[in-house]
Structure 1
């Protein structure tokens, strides 16, 4: 299944840092997100553009995961001509990730 079937995303960017949140539509799907979507998995998914660390923060109260991707935006939005590397686009790209569900 694709993540967009069970979650939506909020994103932002500052300089070379992209911030992507995955928010479960239903509280019961949050556990699946926590299990399947690790920092390593997000770093691997964005391996072509993410040259730094990926840190995951868990927001259990609202059923969300927040990922901070360092060294990802090619010097920052104002220095890049690649619109697809901006924070808003990365959130939509992450929602296309497929996960195995038992």
Structure 2
């Protein structure tokens, strides 16, 4: 499934660090999201913009993860010549990544890969 079927996302910045928050739509989705979205996977997914390390943090009690993508904004803010120097669209980009989920979970929750737009 695409991550957007399992989670919401928000993103922003602080200097040259993009910040992506991923919030599971249901608590039982979080283990699949956590398993699929390692620091290495996110780093690879954003390899076209992320020149530094990626850090992942669990946010207990909120069924969510937070990612920091260092050196991802070309210096950030007015120092950058990138289209999105503040990283506002990074969550939307990550929500398109594929997340494996068990067929029974997808069937139970009405998640159907063929319903994608």
1:41 and 2:48 are equivalent in the alignment: no
TM-score of the pair, normalised by structure 1: 0.92
Deviation at 1:93, TM superposition (A): 0.3
**2 CA distance for matches of 1:25 and 1:99?**
14
Q: Which residue of 1 aligns with 2:92?
A: 92
- The residue aligned with 2:79 is 79
TM-score (norm 2): 0.81
- The alignment's C-alpha RMSD in Å is 1.3
> Is the 8 Å Cα contact of residues 43 and 54 (structure 2) preserved in structure 1?
yes
Q: Number of matched residues? A: 102
* Deviates most, 52-61 or 85-94: 85-94
More deviation, 1-10/72-81: 72-81
- The ranges of structure 1 where at least 4 consecutive aligned residues each deviate by more than 3 angstroms after the TM superposition are none
Equivalent in the alignment of 1:57: 57
